[in-house]
Chain A
């Protein structure tokens, strides 16, 4: 419940106005030598009347002028502090969100880089395997061709070796025996040895 200020003001004014009457109506308690109780002294009642007016002025000056100035400054400070606190809280929330975003971005970038790396590695591995397979196939072909060439050359060499072996055998027999051997028997013997060597 809030009391209207006018009630207080009116009550105060009534109270202040009634004071001189109360003082004047006080019993004539005049103690000899005690100036405070010398109610016959007009200055004593006068100070109450003056005091009532001065206090009323003091109250009105405080209520209407001095105290609102202090209240305004305190209110402004409170608002400013609250505003600054709100701003600080907002800035902290923004900073937290930025850090969260940064972490998320970093995580996403790391994941993306890892995926890219994995894909590049996989592609490179596949390419290397393909190249190796191609090279292997090529080498197989070349080896096969070389082996075929070697076999052919060997066969040709063996073919050309028989007449030479026959001639050498005939010359050896003729030198050893002085008799010309039968050419057909020599060729048969060479063929037998050649078959044994080749076999």
Chain B
């Protein structure tokens, strides 16, 4: 945040050990804490939502059912009938990212999806899963995908490396997309919030001018709410697309 007259917008992404020396020894920072909070919120939402198990659902149960059916339809419509097996994974991925993105919008919280290490780890998990499923389902035919069908054999030395590079870039693009969106949003928040504080220290005219960045920050919150769900959706649907390619012959 603002330190004196300078702005350190990257300070919010720093990791600090929690639980004192115990947390330091276990390398337990605020990121895993908010990961646990995110998981607990999602599981509690499903638990308390589905507690009545009513035929005619209440609001919370209807919301839980809508979430279930939304991700299930996403998985099955994109991957195909095999998507049923991947549905819990897609659900976990989508809501882990969504809860992480939204938790980061709360004051004094931490956005674990703003760390490239976390997003790259998730992207690699998807990538490795899709490769394993591809090898299991397609066998060595999987490698035939690196040579586009119908292309002249003479172009193979050029096309195959391009295709391999394109394939290997998937986890990079998947992780950087989420990371960059989250970082950009939070940096913008921090910059405009710092403007508010800095302008407020300039007296009456500063107070009046500070309304501008404050309004922008409110608008940014709306945008970040949209970006948060959109990035979770993009991550989930790209995972579904990679898995569809993996299970198709």
Q: Are B128 and A23 in contact (CB under 8 A)?
A: no
Pick from B88, B132, B179: contact of A67, CB below 8 A. Answer: B88
A165 within 8 A of partner (CB): no
Per-residue contact bits, chain B 24-46, to A (CB 8 Å; 1 contact, 0 not): 00111101100110010011001
What residues of chain B lie closer than 8 Å to A3, measured between beta carbons? 82, 85-86, 133, 136-137, 247
Pick from A7, A47, A58, A73: contact of B65, CB below 8 A. Answer: A73
What residues of chain A lie closer than 8 Å to B114, measured between beta carbons? 36
The complex places the Cα of A198 from the Cα of B32 at a distance, in Å, of 152
Interface stretch, picked from A11-19, A102-110, A122-130, is A11-19
What residues of chain B lie closer than 8 Å to A63, measured between beta carbons? 88-89, 92
| Shortest beta-carbon distance from B116 to chain A in Å | 5
**Nearest CB to that of B130 among chain A residues?**
A11
Per-residue contact bits, chain B 78-92, to A (CB 8 Å; 1 contact, 0 not): 000110111111011
A85 within 8 A of partner (CB): no
Q: Are B39 and A19 in contact (CB under 8 A)?
A: no
Q: Tell me the B74-132 residues at the A interface (CB within 8 Å).
A: 81-82, 84-89, 91-92, 96, 112, 114-118, 120-122, 124-129, 132
| Shortest beta-carbon distance from A30 to chain B in Å | 12
Interface stretch, picked from A49-57, A91-99, A167-175, A179-187, is A49-57
A1 within 8 A of partner (CB): yes
**Nearest CB to that of B12 among chain A residues?**
A35
What residues of chain A lie closer than 8 Å to B29, measured between beta carbons? 43, 46-47
Interface of A is mostly: helix
Q: Are A61 and B43 in contact (CB under 8 A)?
A: yes
* A4, A16, A18, A54 — most chain B CB neighbours (10 Å): A54
| Shortest beta-carbon distance from B215 to chain A in Å | 29
Q: Are B129 and A15 in contact (CB under 8 A)?
A: yes
The complex places the Cα of A140 from the Cα of B120 at a distance, in Å, of 129
Pick from A23, A36, A50, A61: contact of B32, CB below 8 A. Answer: A50
The complex places the Cα of A54 from the Cα of B115 at a distance, in Å, of 16
**Nearest CB to that of A63 among chain B residues?**
B88
The complex places the Cα of A80 from the Cα of B54 at a distance, in Å, of 12
| Shortest beta-carbon distance from A10 to chain B in Å | 8
What residues of chain A lie closer than 8 Å to B27, measured between beta carbons? 42-43, 45-47, 49-50
What residues of chain A lie closer than 8 Å to B46, measured between beta carbons? 62, 66-67, 69-70
The complex places the Cα of A8 from the Cα of B129 at a distance, in Å, of 7
A160 within 8 A of partner (CB): no
What residues of chain A lie closer than 8 Å to B17, measured between beta carbons? 43
Q: Are B129 and A35 in contact (CB under 8 A)?
A: no
Known contacts A1-B247, A15-B129; is-contact A59 B89 (Cβ 8 Å): yes
B168 within 8 A of partner (CB): no
| Shortest beta-carbon distance from B120 to chain A in Å | 7
**Nearest CB to that of B10 among chain A residues?**
A33
B15 within 8 A of partner (CB): yes
B53 within 8 A of partner (CB): yes
Q: Are B55 and A76 in contact (CB under 8 A)?
A: yes
Q: Are A37 and B31 in contact (CB under 8 A)?
A: no
Q: Are A70 and B64 in contact (CB under 8 A)?
A: yes
The complex places the Cα of A58 from the Cα of B247 at a distance, in Å, of 24
Known contacts A12-B129, A36-B114; is-contact A67 B28 (Cβ 8 Å): no
- Apart from A2-B81, A7-B136, A12-B129, what are 6 other A-B pairs with CB-CB below 8 Å? A3-B133, A35-B11, A46-B27, A50-B35, A54-B36, A73-B50
Across the A-B interface, give the 10 residue pairs with the lowest CB-CB distance, nearest first: A46-B27, A50-B32, A63-B88, A15-B128, A47-B31, A43-B15, A15-B125, A11-B132, A66-B46, A19-B121
Which chain A residues have a beta carbon within 8 Å of chain B's beta carbons? 1-5, 7-8, 11-12, 14-16, 18-19, 22-23, 26, 33-37, 39, 41-52, 54-55, 57-59, 61-63, 66-67, 69-74, 76-77, 80
Which chain B residues have a beta carbon within 8 Å of chain A's beta carbons? 10-11, 13-17, 26-29, 31-32, 35-36, 39, 42-43, 46-47, 50, 53-55, 57, 61, 64-65, 68-69, 81-82, 84-89, 91-92, 96, 112, 114-118, 120-122, 124-129, 132-133, 136-137, 179, 183, 247
